[in-house]
Amino acid sequence: MTGEAVTRVEAREKVTGRARYAGEYPVDGLVFGWVVSSTVARGRVVDLGVDEALATPGVVGVLHPGNAPTLGDGGDPTLQVLQDDRVAHWGDVVALVVATTPEVAREVAEQMRVRYAQEPHDVTFSADHPRMYVPDHVNPANVTETSNGDVDAALATAEVVVDRTYTTPAEHNNPMEPHASTAVPGDDGRLTIYDSNQGSYRVQQSLTGLFTMDDGALRVLSEHVGGGFGAKGTPRPNVVLAAMAALQLGRPVRVTLTRQQMYYLTGYRTPTAQRIRLGAQPDGRLVAIDHVASSQTSTILEFTEQTALISRSMYATDTLHTNHRVVRLDVPTPRWMRAPGEAPGGFALESAIDELAEACRLDPVELRIRNEPSVEPVSGLPFSSRSLVACLREGARRFGWAERDPRPGLRRDGRWLLGSGVAAATYPARASGTKASATAEADGRYTVRVGAADIGTGARTVLTQIAADTLGVPLSRVRVLIGDSDFGPAQLAGGSAGTSSWSWAVVQACRRLRTRGAAPGLTVTADSSGAVKARRALARHAYGCHFVEVAVDADTGEIRVPRMVGVVAGGRIVNPLTARSQILGAMTMGLSTALFEESPMDPAFGDFVGHDLATYHVAANADVRAVEVVFVDEDDDQLNANGIKGIGEIGIVGVTAAVANAVWHATGVRHRDLPIRPDRVLTGWAASTG
């Protein structure tokens, strides 16, 4: 079964509407909570008008700092909702209105006359902000700075130097399913929460810490999740508020965030400013890389995106320095968004590499191949596998790169200027300890339980294929249950580590069940933590590349993309159908990042200018005609039980640089600030022509 293109096992449930999402479970006696959001960026709440709200027919309660329970330590300060009257950013939670219908809850919440003692705010990010500092670590637990050799001395003697700054804007994840939680108190005193998240066990652990509960007192279920992109990787305030209201009122409560509230309360990708300095010999061989990334965080929680990490593993050089800087502003806390760090970092690094190829008058593909390292540059560790060169060569062949004239601004089709670009991609190949169980049922079927999450990736299907293969039975005889905190610790669906972690434990459990004879009723449990820790020290990464053709309207500056070719070496590909879907979606998201996505900040109000999908533009069919996904065969037995590398994020890394490099090739003008909007194209032309 593994290696076959299998349709999603839950496909029929989803297209017929039988699949239940967190905000859809029918529950008797359900009431609805609606968040009251702050309308100032900094200050404190003076008055909420609670009595007037409670007098409204249908309102059953208002939670606010005056009556909310005191929360314990859940490991995340952004979850400490309603603990005081402070406002840390625009859209911060100041109260929760609970009513018998969502319409009443929303109307009352939006009409509450909240008075504030407003204070001056600072929401403007810049690389030279006076409060910029170097944090102790960067996400998730990486060292902030690395240094091999004297980079300034190496750059001073390098014959070719590229010294540029690249910027990326704030972006929002915007999954189709909003963040929703339904908290249901049980007759036995146990609280069950249906929640839209990327890891039910992690949410359960956070909530038990916040509400000082025993593990058995709380269960989190997330069987179906309508997208996340990192926004649902950790608990968000909606689940805390639902649990808080259910415990206080003693009845089921559902809290669903609006699209607008998601912009404040569920995280976003931080804006970045990155200075890249490359030093090389005339033949393009690197002698120095310096990558310094600046970003923003909130006053509540320090979150520093690991933007410069990509430069620590990509290219061979004797001298390498990376560092991160961050500034605390009166803004919501940035969090994970697909390929945090590598996506914005790849734009800067791979754009600079292209500029180096131009300076050295070398083909960009050849320059990358010349700088292929034999070991990971910073750590010195050997690679478990590294197929970047194979990806570049296969991508160049399929794209027809050899026929490209390297000179910019020459190809034209009517009013359209044509160009092509390339960029390399990488993402860590991670795995973490996970528990799974396998049961032999009386009817000859098998049930596998693991705390995985399927956020649209096809994880449930892939795990079913792996379990069936390990048990030696047809796919139809295996049922995989996921998204239940009762199944025990499990890697969340994030960091491209989901399938590589869950499958390890599933294989262990199924092998043990088969070894013990699989007698009806027998259940065996496995925990892969020991095996994960026993792996030898190696540099484990997935690699790939993107080739992009663009057409730029000479009159309007509009950019369209006739074709994209993405090539990935992701270890063993279990299901080519769902794997292609993952890379296709990531490439499309990268295209959106390159051309459209941004969340500008209004400095006067301290609020994001746009809050919905009407103003937050993403790529559509008209923007790209053909997208080709290619997998390079790769056998890596140093990863996990299945030789699997995560592929959920590598498909977005490098796309922005490939597009930017193609736009330069089409127009002769470099764009170092994302997104590459039509106005920026026209401004760039005007500046280049004097």
Say how far apart CA 423 and CA 426 lie, in whole Å. 10
For residue 147, the model assigns a pLDDT of 97
For residue 19, the model assigns a pLDDT of 97
Q: Are 431 and 506 in contact (CB under 8 A)?
A: no
Task: State which H helix or E strand residue 274 sits in.
Answer: strand 272-280
Beta bridge partners of 255: 33, 181
pLDDT > 90? residue 537:
yes
Q: Are 198 and 232 in contact (CB under 8 A)?
A: yes
Residue 214 burial class via C-beta count within 10 angstroms: exposed 0-12, middle 13-18, buried 19 and up: exposed
Average pLDDT (407-431) is 97
User: Percent of the chain having pLDDT more than 70?
Assistant: 100
CB-hemisphere CA count at 13 Å for 90? 20
pLDDT in tens, 57-79: 999 999 999 999 999 998 899 99
Q: Which residues contact 391 (CB under 8 A, 6 or more apart)?
A: 424, 543, 544, 545, 567, 568, 569, 632
C-alpha distance from residue 310 to each of 136, 239, 425, 646 (Å):
19, 33, 9, 16
Burial 527-549 (b: 16+ CB within 10 A, else e): bbbebbeeeeebbbbbbbbbbbb
Beta bridge partners of 412: 417
Task: State which H helix or E strand residue 458 sits in.
Answer: none
Residue 124 burial class via C-beta count within 10 angstroms: exposed 0-12, middle 13-18, buried 19 and up: middle
CA-wise closest residue to 401 among 422, 371, 426, 423: 422
pLDDT in tens, 633-654: 999 999 998 999 999 999 999 9
* Residues identified as active-site: 649
Residue 501 burial class via C-beta count within 10 angstroms: exposed 0-12, middle 13-18, buried 19 and up: buried
Query: Sorting pLDDT into bands at 50, 70 and 90, what band is 690?
Result: low
CA-wise closest residue to 420 among 433, 406, 430: 406
What are the start-end ranges of the H helices in 547-627?
576-595
Q: Are 97 and 62 in contact (CB under 8 A)?
A: yes
Query: Sorting pLDDT into bands at 50, 70 and 90, what band is 686?
Result: confident
The helix-helix angle for 655-667 and 576-595 (nearest 10°) equals: 50
Say how far apart CA 23 and CA 180 lie, in whole Å. 5
pLDDT > 90? residue 145:
yes
> Tokens 């709440």, residue?
45
pLDDT > 70? residue 385:
yes
* pTM > 0.95: yes
User: Percent of the chain having pLDDT more than 90?
Assistant: 98
